Structure 1
Amino acid sequence: MDEVKVSVICLAYNHEKYIRRSLDSILQQETNFKYEIIIHDDCSTDTTRQIIQEYHDEYPGQIKVILQDENQYQKGKPIVEEFMLPLASGKYIAFCECDDYWTDSHKLQLQYDYMECHSNCSLCCHNTIYHCLNKDVPDCNFNSWTDVHIMNEYEVFMQWKVHTSSFFMKKEDGWRDENTFKYWFGDYVRVTSLYLKGDIAVLPQVMSQYNYGVATGVLYNSDISKLETKKKNVLQRKEYLVYLLNKCGKCEDMINRRIKITELEAATLPEQSIIDTTNSKKEKQNAIRSIVSKKEFKEYLSLLRFFDVIKEYVKYGIKYIK
């Protein structure tokens, strides 16, 4: 029990409302191995830093803290790679940002046991609750798999079936390619790159909760940004995918498909905004007509099989505007 087997990576920034529940859920893990918690506070302006210090004082042998005097994310620093991984002693690392939390005290043990028995697994995940803080909508799960599931390339590149709070990997796989540090979607970079290295296994248990809508959340801020900023963020994903394809040469058809749908997403942001917000059937129909007339839509369809083309037309509601 003396050797640390797992290092838990916890990113914190203005998380005073959530961090106690997050850290408690990590400290409550029941394991037959030793694990440590590494917390990085990115110059919070609320009481997050004081709360972290309180926990460190109570668990000095288990918790390591990094308290920044300047915001490193705003400076473009790769926080996990530059500050946290060098302090990690474990064979494996797990992630839990301090506005999320774990819901099962056996999470670490289950993932550790799976990874120890499956050397071909590059990333072990599990199901997660999606909880929206700002809207009165019911919670939902990221996926509906009822057994251990090995993700396929469509699920990896085209969907969002696993959350960062479920990530469990070998420490040496925690370092992203330095050419990808600039991208805001670090979770997508990790999933897609680790898929090319081995199996991504998803345990069926629901063992964490993702709180969407936290003001400091990267995805939330991307979602509420102005259209031009949002377009830039979307096209960053295309840039990453082109880089990944040139680097690895694998999954070419699926990556090209995702590139095309990313181009379509960037080209139709105004129309999608109308579709999502208007109550006018006419405005919605005009927006749909605009989408299906764009060259990006036709280019995307050219990569699909016939039945997938039909699905896309149904998705965009073409049956209403014949």
Structure 2
Amino acid sequence: MANKPLVSILCVTYNQKDYIAQTIEGFLIQKVDFPIEIIIHDDASTDGTAEIVQEYANKHPELIRPILQKENQYSKKISLWKNFIYPIVQGKYIAECEGDDYWTDPNKLQKQIDFLESHPDYSACVHRCKRLDCRTNSFSGSMPPTETQERDFSLTEIILGGGGFWGTNTLVCRFDFLPDCDADFWKLSPVGDFPHALSLATRGKIRYLPQEMSVYRLFAKGSWSCRTLCGPEAYNRRHTHVEKMRESLKAFDKFTDFKYTDTIQEKIDLNDFNLYWDFGKCSLLKTTSHYKQRSFIGKLKALYHCISIFFKKSKD
């Protein structure tokens, strides 16, 4: 490349041929006054995704740097980011977007980089995004759902918000603010977005922009939400996920010298509550602190919700 990129756009994809072209087009429409690079890692897709990535790379060799695996690395428990993507990043900043999501605002990157360049004490900048439910092919609200004013997000809010506090495809952050992914809370986490967010919040402030500038797909084929929340084994998979998150959060508590113990315990309890709420587990729901702290009416509503789910499952 003639000029070293200021921003590296990072995209991981696997068997997303129905989405990847729209994802890449979202990168190409960006109007910026700085050089960029687009690194796309395909983890040995079998549906033609890699061929689409290569086609775009052939058309835009000055922008797109494809990494096309011959064998699936995720199944080998090999970190795609640590071993293949981060080592070749050239940008001062990285912007992330998975291969089933897409950007909609051509000024997205410019807005976020303008802010970060003029505020060196911030580690990251995120924004609001729309949620697209692939089961119904309709929009289902925004992430975060109620934040309509530009402001900073605190570490406490990020802990309680979890991995879905903001859309991964909204994140732009300083590359040198990324910590060592070998920290225990990273290694124990069943997902990457949550420990990433926690790490950035310990390194600097995080600014939120209220403009909707991207779309986050829920329940896309092969996505985490589809693998974890759908099907007859959904409860067992979700339960395993919650248990792993518990261990990761406890490790983060130690990592931060126990400064956020109360908040972390609240998040652990909230994860349990949400699990039992979503699957209608009345007896288990009643053991959580989140349930016990509700008003009498709030408790009745929670139990009614669980009973409704029980009867719905019985009919199904």
TM-score, length-scaled by structure 2: 0.86
State the Cα RMSD in Å: 2.3
Q: 1:312 to 1:2 in 2, by over 3 A?
A: farther
Q: 1:61 to 1:232 in 2, by over 3 A?
A: same
Q: 1:71 to 1:319 in 2, by over 3 A?
A: closer
Aligned mate of 2:248, from 237, 240, 245: 240
Q: 1:15 to 1:182 in 2, by over 3 A?
A: farther
Q: Verify: 1:310 aligned to 2:294, yes or no.
A: yes
Q: Which residue of 2 aligns with 1:184?
A: 190
Deviation at 1:311, TM superposition (A): 5.5
Runs of 4+ in 1 over 6 A off after TM superposition: none
TM-score, length-scaled by structure 1: 0.84
SS of 2:250 mapped into structure 1: helix
Q: 1:176 to 1:100 in 2, by over 3 A?
A: farther
Q: Deviations 1:137-165 (Å, cap 9, x if unpaired)?
A: 54311133333221134431122331100
Q: 1:320 to 1:46 in 2, by over 3 A?
A: closer
Aligned mate of 1:150, from 124, 149, 152: 152
SS of 2:203 mapped into structure 1: coil
Q: 1:320 to 1:223 in 2, by over 3 A?
A: closer
Deviation at 1:136, TM superposition (A): 6.1
Distance 1:315 1:206 in 2: 35
Tell whether the 8 Å contact from 1:10 to 1:39 is kept in structure 2 after alignment: yes
Q: Which residue of 2 aligns with 1:198?
A: 204
Deviation at 1:252, TM superposition (A): 2.1
Q: Verify: 1:220 aligned to 2:226, yes or no.
A: yes
Size of the aligned set, in residue pairs, is: 296
Q: Which residue of 2 aligns with 1:168?
A: 172
Aligned residues with identical type, % of pairs: 29
In the alignment, structure 1 segments of 5+ residues that lack a partner are: 275-286, 303-308
Distance 1:316 1:43 in 2: 50
Tell whether the 8 Å contact from 1:81 to 1:174 is kept in structure 2 after alignment: no
Q: Deviations 1:194-236 (Å, cap 9, x if unpaired)?
A: 2122211111111110111112112321112512222111111
What amino acid is the match of 2:220? V
Distance 1:254 1:292 in 2: 20
SS of 2:76 mapped into structure 1: coil
- Give the alignment of 1:1-322 within 5 angstroms: 2-135=3-136, 138-143=139-144, 144-159=146-161, 160-178=164-182, 179=184, 180-181=186-187, 183-224=189-230, 226=233, 227-249=235-257, 250-265=259-274, 268=276, 272-274=278-280, 287-288=281-282, 290-294=283-287, 297-298=288-289, 300=290, 309-310=293-294, 314=298, 317=301
In the alignment, structure 2 segments of 5+ residues that lack a partner are: 306-316
